[in-house]
Amino acid sequence: MWCKRAAVALFLLVLEIESCFTEAQGPINSGNFPKGFVFGTASSAYQYEGAVKVDGRGSTVWDTFAHTFGKVIDFSNADVAVDQYHRFLEDIQLLADMGMGAYRFSIAWSRIYPNGTGEINKAGIDHYNNLINALLAKGIQPYVTLYHWDLPQALEDRYNGWLSPQIIKDFANYAETCFQNFGDRVKHWITFNEPHTFAIQGYDVGLQAPGKCSILFHTFCRAGNSATEPYIVAHNTLLAHGTVMDIYTKKYKAKQHGTVGISLDVMWFVPMTNSSEDIAATQRALDFQFGWFMDPIFFGDYPSSMRNRVGNRLPKFSAAEAALVKGSIDFVGINHYTTYYAKKNSTNVVNILLNDSLADSGAITLPFKDGKAIGDRANSIWLYIVPQGIRSLMNYIKQRYGNPPVIITENGMDDPNNPLISVKDALKDQKRIQYHNDYLTNLLASIREDGCDVRGYFVWSLLDNWEWTAGYTSRFGLYFVDYKDNLKRYAKDSVQWFKAFLNSTV
């Protein structure tokens, strides 16, 4: 009971701080941010590289999923994507032209170990060495994600991937191979991208690879257990993360002087009403998304709301496992795009239909209140533009977790891939410019006015790319990719805005 009261009290404190925010003012530029603050763009191997059968790369669960009929909205796949495997020198020049200081990319596990384990694929090592060296030659720091959802299919076939504790050992072996081969130059490592997303989307609702679920009588899925498997996957992911951090700290950190973090997807939530029930539900919504991973890393266990509501379906940490996971980061990566309302789930219909981790929270999250949207919508049906949410989130992290170093590892918005407009018109992306200006303005206020320890900001994304189940229907890029003309890259107006932003110092 004390923990519940404390959680609600904390959330009320953040709401009180939020009510004191003044409207963030613009325009701003990079010179307004603290010295050493990093600006970059983000990408992932499966969404960018293509070349899926080149130089010994093994198959992944996303190769399998994307080639399964009906899983991707436009029936596309990422066999080619934006072909960065072959065009990375061109894309690095685009980064340099903008003045970006960093590039976040992921290494494809199946390029290093085509079967997940076993013999190392030298061609994969050579490719990432070339990419890293090319970035450094242009003065761009590599921020490397070890796992961005593309599990080698061989491990899924062998032992069901993240559902087996064997994955911890195999992931650690892969990670250590990366430290050994790239760690002399890579100083910023991210173990996992959005474990919450791949646990829920892959093992609860089944809408992403490997597509497991048990909801709605297996309408979408051939196998799975939505009530237990997301929790098992998340648990094994946290233990894999802690194991890798332990290896890096003991064997590589003193010599390589790098840092290790994890990137978590986080919506901000605001109560639908001022009722105590909706305020408590809002805290639970945060617990079941963000606290699910942050609490074990900072406190050694899952949030009490999860323990109370999930019961024996939620795995338990042994004392040794809790010690391994607790404190296992040098920085927190935050992928933040949008804000929703939250309210108490006052009906059992959702619980009966789903019987899953989404229903377990007892919270309903929506982007509408009284028929009105919380903000202007981007192209994606889930992405509503609420710039002040990023400031509130930074304050929540500061208050609940003791103000750890934070890097915004993704932030951005998408336009539709509209075949009816010309390339020239598609480059006019004033809405994106406004989005980044407003989110950066609020982020700056969280640093300068609120004292939040934020150290970097990565735009999603450098290029338009293959956006998972949305395929090529969604354009998040600063650069337009012409899918009809040899994947030519064209600078959108937002590129010019970032050039001015990054090259101004006052």
Dihedrals phi, psi of 201, to nearest 5 degrees: -70, -30
C-alpha atoms less than 13 angstroms from C-alpha of 219 in its C-beta half-sphere: 6
Element (H, E) at 65: helix 61-66
Q: Is 499 helix (H, G, I), strand (E, B) or coil?
A: helix
SS3 for 127-149 is HHHHHHHHHHHCCCEEEEEEECC
Q: 14-36 in b/e burial notation, b at 16+ Cβ within 10 A? A: bbebbeebeebeeebebebbeee
Peptide bond into 461 cis (omega under 30): yes
Q: Is 54 helix (H, G, I), strand (E, B) or coil?
A: coil
DSSP 8-class letter at 58: P
- Those residues with Cβ within 8 angstroms of residue 160's Cβ, 6 or more apart along the chain or in another chain: none
Peptide bond into 27 cis (omega under 30): yes
Residue type, 160: N
- Quick one: tokens of 421? 């407009």
Residue type, 16: E
| Strand ranges in 9-110 using DSSP code E only, listed in sequence order | 38-42, 102-106
Element (H, E) at 354: helix 349-354
Residues 403 and 453: beta-carbon distance below 8 Å: yes
Interior angle at CA 472, CA 468 and CA 475, nearest 5: 95
Residues 341 and 367: beta-carbon distance below 8 Å: yes
Peptide bond into 114 cis (omega under 30): no
Residues 74 and 469: beta-carbon distance below 8 Å: no
Tell me the β-bridge partners of 261: 190, 331
Q: Which of 191, 188, 182, 193 is nearest to 101 (CA)?
A: 188
Q: Which residues are catalytic?
A: 194, 410
Q: How large is the greatest C-alpha to C-alpha distance in the chain, in angstroms? A: 61
Cα torsion at 148, 150, 156, 159 (round to 10°)?
-30
Characterize the bridge pairing of strands 479-482 and 488-491.
antiparallel
- H helices of 361-492, in order, are 388-401, 423-426, 430-448
Dist CA 43 CA 48 (whole Å): 7
